[in-house]
Amino acid sequence: MENTPFGVLLWDANMKLIYCSKEAAAKFACTPDDLLYKPINLLQFVHEEDAPAVAALITEIASGRKNHNESLNRNLTKEGAVIYCQWYNSALRDDQGKVVNILSLFQDVTAQVDTQLALKKSQQRLSLAFNSAIDPMWLIRVEGPNAFRFETINHAFTKVTGWTPEQVEGQPIEKIMPESSHELVRRKYNEALTTGKIIDYVEEAQHPSGIKYGEIRVIPIRGESGEPMRILGIANDITEKVHLQKKLDAEHEIRSRQITSAAIKGQESERSKVSRELHDNVNQVLTTVKLYVELCIDQKIDADAILPKCAAYLDNTINEIRHLSKQLSAPSLGSMNFRETLTELIDSLRASTQIDVALEFTKLHFSEMEGELHLTIYRVAQEQITNIIKYAKADRVHISLKENSSLLYFTITDDGIGFDLSQKRQGIGITNMQSRVEILNGHFQIITSPGNGTRLEVEIPVIIEGDVCYAEQTVLNMPSA
């Protein structure tokens, strides 16, 4: 019995140890003489938590109720160290069937138990991390070509999709994922298995909780010792982000249509204005001149008196047409910069009205302005000056253009009669000004009230490169070189 790897103990009917192999004594860090023929205190060699169960097993064998039993319990060495032992106990009987001896074979399995406990703890930690993750996670067992089955899911998976573990675990993916996703999911899973790499993709899927959008990551896990391969799936739920983006896209589309509509209305308004001017002024004058010329030809009136009047009428008509042309044409950066165009606009206001106008340029770190930005400032100024002449009854107007912290500030302030912004319907002119500013990602505001004048404020993000000021939005939209 000394050649066996087991420790061997032989007890008499009174549970006194009458044989102890060297292997058995060594496992308890003592010699056989330390144990033989001496009273044994169970708590001396058995962990106190396991002692009641061990005592019951001893009684079971010693009483003859069982011939064999076995147990795994914690034992104590002579120094008090804890070891795990697997015990196999057998009753030895005489010819009358009476138990005369008990044979115990045991093996130190501490290393195996420690490994199992470490593995169990590791699995518990993994399970805790798996189920504590805020992102949905799932484990897929690979059962063959295009054969994938859910092995487990975490709590977040249930929370996001509405699927419970009872519904999902053990099911093939086709029973859980919508049919529209089958081909995509199989292709991505096979790509991960074939390449051994992490694969990312975006998926839209219908679940019990509704349509969900997810950024999916699948990680191949190679099996060991003949175990099948597995795939770990992780999803970042981007449903809210997708819905928000769709909402923003829809709002952008609506805004684009509004801007287009405003631009078309503005064009129609300008055409109507030109039509009225041509009909009411130019056409009437030309008709009068034509009538005078015909009368002169027929010698029905004094040509010397009438022809100078016709020339004067024609001069006025030429000036009227020139004025209409200037209103319709955009300023040319090739010939005039923003200072010149605004100054010319102010000069025309001073020449045609009694309004006191002040134009101020403050802290401008540039001398030229990019075309679209220049045109926006010019058109806003042109429209607001027209509004002031028509409606404001103002005595003084202050126009300011300044730049600070990558923002261009443009204001037009008058001391006129003002108006109730909540009561007055916003006309096409104001809509056009606002649309032009917002196209450049700017902010447009009118501040007014009855009797307190009107202040127009424009803020546009800008970028200054060299000596030229660009609208930031224009630079961002420029194609890459």
pLDDT in tens, the chain (481 residues): 556 789 999 999 888 999 999 999 999 999 998 889 888 788 889 999 999 999 999 999 999 899 999 999 999 999 999 999 999 999 999 999 999 999 999 999 999 998 888 888 877 777 777 878 889 999 999 998 899 999 999 999 999 999 999 999 999 999 999 998 999 999 999 999 989 899 999 999 999 999 999 999 999 988 666 566 889 999 999 999 988 888 888 887 777 777 666 666 666 666 766 766 666 667 767 877 887 788 888 888 888 888 888 888 788 888 778 777 666 655 454 467 899 999 988 988 887 788 999 999 999 999 999 988 998 999 899 889 989 988 999 999 999 999 998 999 999 999 999 998 887 656 677 888 998 899 899 999 999 999 999 999 999 999 999 899 999 988 877 665 4
Paired strand residues for 93: 99
Q: Which CATH architecture has domain 332-481?
A: 2-Layer Sandwich (3.30)
Would you call 270 exposed, middle or buried from its count of C-beta atoms within 10 A (0-12, 13-18, 19+)? middle
Q: Assign a CATH topology to domain 133-237.
A: Beta-Lactamase (3.30.450)
What is d(CA 453, CA 302) in angstroms, rounded to the nearest whole number? 53
Give yes or no for a contact between 153 and 166, defined as CB atoms under 8 angstroms apart: no
End-to-end CA distance of the chain: 89
pTM: 0.41
pLDDT reported for residue 423: 76
Cα torsion angle, 47, 49, 51, 57, sign:
negative
Look up residue 298 and give its two tokens.
Answer: 């027929």
Kindly report the CATH class assigned to 7-115. Answer: alpha beta
What is the gyration radius of the CA atoms in the chain, in angstroms? 48
CA 385 from centroid of its chain's CA atoms = 45
- Looking up tokens 């795990």 gives 84
What is d(CA 58, CA 37) in angstroms, rounded to the nearest whole number? 18
Strand locations in 335-385 (E): 356-362, 368-369
Paired strand residues for 210: 207
pLDDT reported for residue 268: 66
Phi, psi of 30 (to 5 degrees): -150, -175
Q: Find, among 200, 203, 185, the residue nearest to 242 by Cα.
A: 203
Give yes or no for a contact between 402 and 390, defined as CB atoms under 8 angstroms apart: no
